[in-house]
Structure 1
Amino acid sequence: MDEIYDVIVLGTGLTECILSGLFSAHGKKVLHLDRNSFYGGETASLNLTNLYKMFYPSREPPSHLGANRDWNVDLVPKFTMANGKLVKIILHTETVSNNLEWKCVHGSFVMQVSAGGFFSKSKAKVHKVPATDIEALKSDLMGLLEKRRCKKFFKFVQDYDPANSTTYKGMDLKKQPFLYLITVFGLEKNTVDFICHAIALYTNDECLQRPCVEVMMKIKLYMDSIGLYGDSPFLYPIYGIGGIAEGFSRLSAIYGGTYMLNKSIDEIIFNEDGKVIGVRSGEDIARSPIILCDPSYAVSLGKVRSIGKVIRAICIIDHYIPDTNHIPSGQIIIPQRQTGRRNDIFISYMSNSHCVCPKGYYIAICSTSVETDTPENELQPAFALLGEIMTTFIKVYDNFEPNEDGSRDNLFISKSYDSTSHFETACEDVISLYERIMGERLNLETTLKPFTQDS
């Protein structure tokens, strides 16, 4: 450690690993440290031993769950949009893209509560999310007349081009809120639910007051992602999302980056002007004019603030989730209005189709933003959909963001992973941090050359 580096990175979460890989590939001398014994931080994929060690340290994994090596359990349940920013960052780095294997997630669903009739009670049911005008006509989410209105809406969004005013149909889409567009097409509340929450992927109804163009571009991202690599807009790596962080770690290493796990960080050192100059671990000191870290390394310094909490429950089950057509992987979104909450509930589930658990088992991860003093109770609608659960691993996480942008003290801090079901917001943080630290825009239209001895 007793050297001078261009950048020191603390924590091996996805954000930090992407950036250390990019820094190294662009010629920076990088030291990357983590207090944990595994890569990935909060975006790690753990085997059974490490999972139980984290949540139930006094218990051994039960033998009936099978071999330790067959389990790769994510701590953060997020998928990747096929046409999203994370895919573009990975394709920018040919070395990483060549060493990751992906498969489509098989389906996306939304929960609706049907009203009870004279002889029946209200019932929560899961429906497949339509994402095109053709699928809208086949969906059982809507009645016949609503299907026609929804088809017209999807066709309008699909044809929309920000650079072509003739596609605006005479509407001021940059200033009008999305609620205005919903009103123009006369869409019903349940239709608005799956459009806003299961397609645009907002976590609450505040999106109705966002500009039309903003929401429409998120819908277009979803629609454009379908068909790129399969019938689903979502991708997921074989062996779990922890492999993405490891892929960028390898990228950094082959370009000369230095990695140390199980390394305590006892102090981030500042000079008399308040700027970072290095880190101390025991008696060892590594020096650098720039430090990037995840929020957990900056809490004691008062450099971050909590903007809420997220609860995540990892559930192991041994049966298909009802109403999902027996597909082996998918996402279920429970919109806030369906449960009377302020935020959506998400269920991301995987199986042996993506090599994250043995055949016959499923890993379903339920998550939401915390609203009460009893966060576990807030996930009850998700637990009810899953049916009988064999084992759960539950944790409440603080959602941190930095107090400053890092330009004053050169301590750059990433944001916590939010309750969204994808990595788009995390990648926006990656791009922002890269530009602040490197002083230039990250050009994703180019491809980094693979490493050679002359690199």
Structure 2
Amino acid sequence: MADAPAAGGGFPAQDYPTIDPTSFDVVLCGTGLPEAVLAAACAAAGKTVLHVDPNPFYGSLFSSLPLPSLPSFLSPSPSDDPAPSPSPSSAAAVDLRRRSPYSEVETSGAVPEPSRRFTADLVGPRLLYCADEAVDLLLRSGGSHHVEFKSVEGGTLLYWDGDLYPVPDSRQAIFKDTTLQLREKNLLFRFFKLVQAHIAASAAGAAAAGEGEASGRLPDEDLDLPFVEFLKRQNLSPKMRAVVLYAIAMADYDQDGVESCERLLTTREGVKTIALYSSSIGRFANAEGAFIYPMYGHGELPQAFCRCAAVLRMPATALLVDEEKKRYVGIRLASGQDILCQQLILDPSYEIPPLDMPSDAPVSNLPRKVARGICIISSSVRQDTSNVLVVFPPKSLEEEQITAVRVLQLSSNLAVCPPGMFMAYLSTPCTDAFTGKKCISKAIDALFSTKVSNDLEDHLEKNSEENKESVKPTLLWSCVYVQEIIQGTSGTALSCPIPDENMDYRSILESTKMLFTDICPNEEFLPRNSAPKYASDNDSDSAEALYST
């Protein structure tokens, strides 16, 4: 974690060294999570890899930044792009430019001192399932030696009818939940038993478990149903449907509007996520719940993978073009040196001009958007809870709300803020900036008090032990912004996936694996034996090594 770089990475062009060799199988620009994973995977597959980045920190659009560096990263100056350097090469070149995916940045309040004790994720709110593929990739690549996690011990809370309720996500949680009526408990028990039987039968395979409903597997006609319709057939109440749809299956859009829903979840998809959720509970002996979060922020994940393929801290200023074949063949570094490659991969902030159309050609489809918020608050949203996820289902804030809003509260035990304060991340997918920021603002108003005391010490004193139950956390500082979700590109210059609206990395890793298949069609993606050996290793595949107590 470091301050955002000055123009050209903070070094004059003449200070950059030349490198040898000057030709590689794969060149990657940027250290976002997809680029870092691809660099590790390509190196493990035997490819020669050059990994470059202009920043003095890891992560690019997936980074975790000290709070003072956040404004300049979200709203960069045009002068931050390094000027193209002259080169003696005769290769045709196209200037490499970057564009920020962030807009509508709005901050309020004053950051408490010391401000550098606060670390902000650009991808928040985001978590990893304990049984996530990302965890397995860390183990297989050896990245697990460079990152630690803590559990989200507060679990998940559902905002319903103006109050917060614990999400009953297991038999034990259902049994202990005093807010549920006996009928609701019985129906929820029966639903989870039905789903678990299907998961077990699917894992065992049709040959061992038999065919049809007798095996415990759900019929295909049920699996192809909209998940909300399947839940209605189980007689679950609207509140319990919201629990399953938005707090466990992680649906983003209003599932009751079947005809107008932008992303309708099928039963098959919902059950798959429930299976991941269920298998995550209890994977780590000392972890509470299904979710874990990396110490020091999500920027630690790309850093861990970058240890598998060294990074050259130098900007790329231009793309090299084979004009005859109409393909990109390399990059020009800030030193003026030309580097050739078979495959070029760039982080999504780089603009890649199509070679078969004018660079100013109109974009055919508008990118998706996600509204995000970062807040510093004075106390926890729930007493005696440090880290917790809060879910606002569609229509819970207002009738016009068509997307879920998720809020992740983090405490100082994750080394992201000073003791006595909390970080809170919010996000919701949106079609336009106004709607997205409106949802974020309403969620902030529902959870936090926005009346900030002029004297921070007076404010903290007000939140004494006797007032914690009745007083909302005070919002001390906030930053709300909108991020475009730019689609990756294919061809001779690949663009990696950008942080999306999801709570986890499944979609991003799936896209990353597809890019790897394009580059290395006959190679395994980060095979288990690709992890480097460390002298202190007892069991390099031990998942417990990831978890910090």
Deviation at 1:278, TM superposition (A): 0.5
What does residue 321 of structure 2 align with? 269
**Superposed, which structure 2 residues align to 1:431-442 within 5 Å?**
431-440=513-522, 442=524
Contact 1:312–1:395 (CA under 8 A) maintained in structure 2: yes
Contact 1:44–1:75 (CA under 8 A) maintained in structure 2: yes
**Superposed, which structure 2 residues align to 1:89-108 within 5 Å?**
89-93=137-141, 95-108=142-155
Q: 1:438 to 1:386 in 2, by over 3 A?
A: farther
What does residue 294 of structure 1 align with? 347
Q: Which moved more, 1:326-335 or 1:369-378?
A: 369-378
Q: Which moved more, 1:28-37 or 1:430-439?
A: 28-37
CA distance in 1, matches of 2:332, 2:364: 20
CA distance in 1, matches of 2:385, 2:216: 37
What does residue 357 of structure 1 align with? 417
Indicate whether 1:238 and 2:298 are aligned.
Answer: no
CA distance in 2, matches of 1:225, 1:285: 47
Q: 1:46 to 1:104 in 2, by over 3 A?
A: same
CA distance in 2, matches of 1:170, 1:18: 37
**Superposed, which structure 2 residues align to 1:376-395 within 5 Å?**
376-384=437-445, 385-387=447-449, 388-395=474-481
Indicate whether 1:227 and 2:288 are aligned.
Answer: no
Deviation at 1:401, TM superposition (A): 0.8
Contact 2:348–2:496 (CA under 8 A) maintained in structure 1: yes
**Superposed, which structure 2 residues align to 1:142-161 within 5 Å?**
142-160=180-198, 161=201
- Deviation track 1:119-172 (CA, whole Å, cap 9, x = no partner) reads xxxxx1122211113322333553321121011001111121223441126664
Contact 2:110–2:477 (CA under 8 A) maintained in structure 1: no
- Deviation track 1:61-104 (CA, whole Å, cap 9, x = no partner) reads 97842262x332211111111101111111111x2112211111
Indicate whether 1:84 and 2:132 are aligned.
Answer: yes
Q: 1:9 to 1:141 in 2, by over 3 A?
A: farther
What does residue 55 of structure 2 align with? 36
What does residue 49 of structure 1 align with? 68
Partner amino acid, structure 1, of 2:130: A
Partner amino acid, structure 2, of 1:386: F
CA distance in 1, matches of 2:502, 2:365: 19
Q: 1:6 to 1:304 in 2, by over 3 A?
A: farther
The CA RMSD over aligned residues, in Å, is: 2.8
Partner amino acid, structure 2, of 1:377: K
Deviation at 1:417, TM superposition (A): 1.4
**Superposed, which structure 2 residues align to 1:7-406 within 5 Å?**
7-54=26-73, 64-66=112-114, 68=116, 70-77=117-124, 78-93=126-141, 95-114=142-161, 124-140=162-178, 142-160=180-198, 161-162=201-202, 163=205, 164=209, 165=211, 166-168=215-217, 172-206=221-255, 209-229=264-284, 230-253=287-310, 258-261=311-314, 263-267=315-319, 269-282=321-334, 283-298=336-351, 301=354, 306-321=366-381, 324-339=382-397, 340=399, 341-374=401-434, 375-384=436-445, 385-387=447-449, 388-403=474-489, 406=490
Deviation at 1:175, TM superposition (A): 3.2
Deviation at 1:386, TM superposition (A): 2.8
TM-score normalised according to structure 2 size: 0.72
Q: 1:76 to 1:63 in 2, by over 3 A?
A: closer
Deviation at 1:337, TM superposition (A): 3.0
CA distance in 2, matches of 1:414, 1:159: 38
Tell me, what secondary structure is at the counterpart of 2:146? coil
CA distance in 1, matches of 2:481, 2:495: 23
CA distance in 2, matches of 1:109, 1:359: 22
Q: 1:27 to 1:189 in 2, by over 3 A?
A: same
Q: Which moved more, 1:49-58 or 1:359-368?
A: 49-58
Q: Which moved more, 1:198-207 or 1:20-29?
A: 198-207
What does residue 118 of structure 1 align with? none
Tell me, what secondary structure is at the counterpart of 2:247? helix
Tell me, what secondary structure is at the counterpart of 2:487? strand
CA distance in 1, matches of 2:416, 2:39: 26
Deviation at 1:400, TM superposition (A): 0.8
Tell me, what secondary structure is at the counterpart of 1:337? coil
Q: 1:344 to 1:141 in 2, by over 3 A?
A: farther
Deviation at 1:334, TM superposition (A): 0.9
- Deviation track 1:18-68 (CA, whole Å, cap 9, x = no partner) reads 111221233221112223332111111111332254358999x97842262
Gapped regions of structure 2 (runs ≥ 5): 1-18, 78-106, 259-263, 450-473, 536-549
Contact 2:513–2:525 (CA under 8 A) maintained in structure 1: no
Tell me, what secondary structure is at the counterpart of 2:28? strand
Q: 1:223 to 1:386 in 2, by over 3 A?
A: farther
Contact 2:372–2:482 (CA under 8 A) maintained in structure 1: yes
Deviation at 1:395, TM superposition (A): 2.2
CA distance in 2, matches of 1:286, 1:169: 54
Q: 1:112 to 1:329 in 2, by over 3 A?
A: closer
Q: 1:414 to 1:227 in 2, by over 3 A?
A: same
